[in-house]
């Protein structure tokens, strides 16, 4: 995720509170900004980056009134390694001309994203809403927003009413308010922006979630995000092999000394679960993805590694998604339903079923109501003597045997080791082989997750369960988001819009 802030410190608007409205650039200064931007674009083009990236221009003032930014964004959008490019803007640029320039540079409109800010001193609600509509008709993805000044509450409500429902209108907290918002103000802004509460959180800094981020500035400075300190290396250095990203930015990993990620450009760009669930693979653009369903693994995903509970911020975001997004929240876990309930008690009421026991038990419907269920049993009782024989062979490497039954039929068997002595890969493979031989058939699936070896019917898998639940819901799996962190999740992640939280991703 790359943010770029050039040399500009100026704007065509004259808002009374803004320092950039007072400053005008000379022709020479503008030329310098243009040169620097093109130097940056060339550097990015030359550095053949693996993977999927996005780039957002975050100027001091307004950049998109200058045609060179459209040329550069068009060029960057052609790169296969960039899935999204865009900018923050006051939305005052001439839309048709700008898009023409973008397309002439080879721009791909499906990659273009705009973050359009409403400036009540400079533009009317009607004119701003009309421009948003035109951009949407042109197929441009965008969000709109404004600063949450309490005196503008009524105006922002009328803006919300004038915009198409599908266009997200965000409200930023007003930094200069010098007092906390009242409950009535918070509620008022929440009615406009269901995610306004995220602006009011403290968001403790966590640079681990910022690996791979780059904030590049027109003077060559590099950092992780727009509020973190810069590193001493510069992106425009001419030493051989110098790149914008690669090694030099990995140096930045340890340099964030901030206590808080105090604005959206900071916290909204972190690679955390709910940023991606709510705002997609490029959350920095603040465009909600509004999936029809979300399937969430529990251990290592909803409950972070090393923790025993769902973080408070995740809980709040899930509540907002369930309330506002018209989204089905579903589990996708190897845990049996009763165990999932114990771990996720606080958010249990927000969910309406899921894939349990590694796909051996499916459920759709609120847990307080009678739902739709499917269980994949297998003749697990036949395996138990073989497992007990194994126990003797593995003396000194003990495990607990847990057998899960539904109406008397076995649907999952777990061989559980102490957390500090998990199954080793080789040993697990050997045991799986023995059990399958003992079973003498194709009907079981054995997989290992850390300290648990799981045995289920061969018909049971998370991806198969997700497919079945989507069928019940009448939606395509691609309309759903799935998040997970383990091998067992991979097929489900490729079936849906996947969020891979494994350390290797
Ligand atoms: S301040 Fe910026 S770099 Fe530091 S943790 Fe927050 S988002 Fe990451």
Nearest to 400 by CA among 451, 450, 338: 451
pLDDT score of 413: 95
Contact yes or no for 234/292 (Cβ under 8 A): no
List of long-range contacts for 184-187, beta carbons under 8 Å, 24+ apart = 185/148, 185/150, 185/153
The closest-lying atom of ligand 1 relative to the alpha carbon of residue 209 is 8
> Ligand 1 centre from 5 Cα, in Å?
17
Tell which wins on pLDDT, 431 or 465.
Answer: 465
Please report, for residues 71, 83, 105, 141, 191, the alpha-carbon distance to residue 100 in angstroms, rounded to integers and kept in the order given. 10, 20, 9, 17, 37
Question: What pLDDT digit, counting tens, does each position of 172-197 carry?
Answer: 999 889 899 999 999 999 999 999 99
> Ligand 1 centre from 411 Cα, in Å?
45
Nearest to 330 by CA among 301, 346, 350, 303: 350
330-357: average pLDDT: 96
List of long-range contacts for 215-222, beta carbons under 8 Å, 24+ apart = 215/2, 215/3, 215/5, 216/2, 216/3, 216/4, 216/5, 216/40, 216/244, 217/4, 217/5, 217/6, 218/5, 218/6, 218/7, 218/8, 218/33, 218/36, 218/37, 218/40, 219/7, 222/248, 222/249, 222/252
Confidence of residue 38 (pLDDT cuts 50, 70, 90): very high
Confidence of residue 296 (pLDDT cuts 50, 70, 90): very high
pLDDT score of 380: 86
CB of 260 within 6 A of ligand 1: the answer is no
pLDDT score of 252: 47
Pairing of strands 214-217, 2-5: parallel
- The protein residue whose alpha carbon is closest to atom 1 in ligand 1 is 261
Contact yes or no for 86/99 (Cβ under 8 A): no
Pairing of strands 452-457, 444-449: antiparallel
Q: Following DSSP, what letter does each residue of 474-492 receive, concatenated?
A: T--GGGEEEEE-SGGGHHH
Structure tokens at 288: 């909600």
% of the chain exceeding 70 in pLDDT: 95
Structure tokens at 298: 């529990």
Tell which wins on pLDDT, 74 or 214.
Answer: 74
> Ligand 1 centre from 256 Cα, in Å?
6
Pairing of strands 112-117, 82-89: parallel
Which range among 115-129, 137-151, 370-384, 453-467 shows the weakest confidence by mean pLDDT? 370-384
pLDDT score of 323: 87
CB of 228 within 6 A of ligand 1: the answer is yes
CB of 147 within 6 A of ligand 1: the answer is no
CB of 270 within 6 A of ligand 1: the answer is yes
pLDDT score of 179: 95
> Ligand 1 centre from 303 Cα, in Å?
22
CB of 268 within 6 A of ligand 1: the answer is no
CB of 266 within 6 A of ligand 1: the answer is yes
> Ligand 1 centre from 314 Cα, in Å?
18
The closest-lying atom of ligand 1 relative to the alpha carbon of residue 266 is 7
Domains of the chain with bracketed CATH: 2-117+201-265 (no CATH), 290-376+461-500 (3.40.50.1000), 380-457 (3.30.70)
pLDDT score of 254: 56
pLDDT score of 245: 63
- The protein residue whose alpha carbon is closest to atom 7 in ligand 1 is 266
Question: What pLDDT digit, counting tens, does each position of 359-373 carry?
Answer: 999 999 998 888 999
- The protein residue whose alpha carbon is closest to atom 6 in ligand 1 is 261
Confidence of residue 480 (pLDDT cuts 50, 70, 90): very high
Question: What pLDDT digit, counting tens, does each position of 110-132 carry?
Answer: 999 999 999 999 999 999 999 99
Task: Check: pTM over 0.85? Answer yes or no.
Answer: yes
Mean of per-residue pLDDT scores for the chain: 92
Question: What pLDDT digit, counting tens, does each position of 214-271 carry?
Answer: 899 999 998 889 999 888 888 887 665 556 665 555 544 557 889 999 999 999 999 9
Which range among 297-311, 392-406, 411-425, 489-503 shows the weakest confidence by mean pLDDT? 392-406
């Amino acid at each position: 995720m790359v943010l770029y802030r050039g040399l500009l410190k100026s704007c065509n608007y004259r808002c009374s509170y803004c320092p950039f409205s007072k400053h005008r650039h000379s022709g020479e200064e503008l030329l310098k900004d243009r040169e620097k931007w093109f130097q940056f674009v060339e550097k990015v083009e030359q550095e053949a980056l693996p993977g999927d990236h996005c780039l957002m221009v975050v100027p001091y003032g307004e950049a998109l009134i200058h045609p060179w930014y459209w040329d550069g964004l068009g060029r960057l959008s052609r790169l296969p390694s960039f899935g999204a490019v865009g900018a923050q803007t006051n939305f005052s640029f001439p839309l048709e001309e700008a898009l023409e320039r973008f397309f002439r540079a080879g721009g791909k409109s499906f990659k273009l994203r705009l973050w359009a800010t409403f400036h009540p001193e400079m533009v009317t609600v009607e004119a701003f809403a009309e421009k948003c509509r035109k951009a949407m008709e042109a197929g441009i993805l965008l969000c709109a927003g404004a600063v949450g000044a309490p005196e503008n509450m009524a105006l922002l409500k009328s803006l919300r009413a004038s915009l198409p429902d599908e266009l997200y209108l965000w409200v930023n907290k007003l930094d200069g308010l010098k007092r906390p918002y009242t409950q009535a103000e918070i509620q008022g802004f929440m009615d406009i922006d269901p995610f306004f509460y995220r602006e009011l959180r403290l968001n403790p800094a966590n640079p681990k979630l910022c690996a791979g981020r780059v904030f590049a500035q027109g003077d060559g400075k590099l950092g992780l995000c727009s509020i973190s300190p810069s590193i001493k290396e510069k992106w425009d250095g001419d030493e051989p092999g110098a790149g914008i990203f690669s090694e030099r930015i990995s140096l930045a990993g340890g340099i964030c000394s901030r206590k808080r990620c105090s604005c959206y450009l900071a916290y909204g760009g972190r690679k955390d679960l709910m940023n991606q669930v709510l705002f997609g693979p490029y959350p920095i653009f603040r465009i909600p993805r509004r999936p029809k369903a979300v399937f969430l693994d529990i251990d290592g995903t909803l409950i972070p590694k090393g923790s025993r509970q769902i973080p408070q911020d995740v809980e709040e975001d899930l509540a907002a998604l369930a309330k506002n997004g018209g989204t089905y929240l579903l589990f996708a876990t190897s845990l049996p339903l009763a165990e999932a309930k114990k771990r996720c008690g606080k958010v249990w009421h927000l969910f309406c079923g899921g894939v349990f026991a590694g796909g051996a038990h499916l459920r759709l419907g609120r847990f307080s109501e009678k739902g739709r269920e499917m269980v994949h049993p297998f003749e697990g009782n036949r395996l138990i003597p073989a497992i007990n024989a194994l126990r003797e062979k593995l003396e000194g490497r003990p495990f607990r045997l847990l057998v899960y039954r539904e109406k008397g039929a076995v649907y999952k068997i777990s061989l559980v080791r102490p957390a500090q002595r998990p199954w080793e890969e080789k040993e697990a493979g050997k045991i799986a082989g023995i059990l399958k031989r003992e079973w003498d058939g194709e009907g079981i699936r054995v997989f290992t997750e850390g300290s648990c070896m799981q045995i289920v019917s061969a018909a049971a898998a998370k991806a198969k369960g997700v497919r079945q639940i989507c069928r019940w819901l009448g939606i395509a799996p691609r309309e759903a988001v799935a998040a997970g962190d383990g091998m067992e999740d991979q097929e489900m992640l490729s079936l849906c819009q996947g969020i891979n939280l494994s350390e290797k991703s």
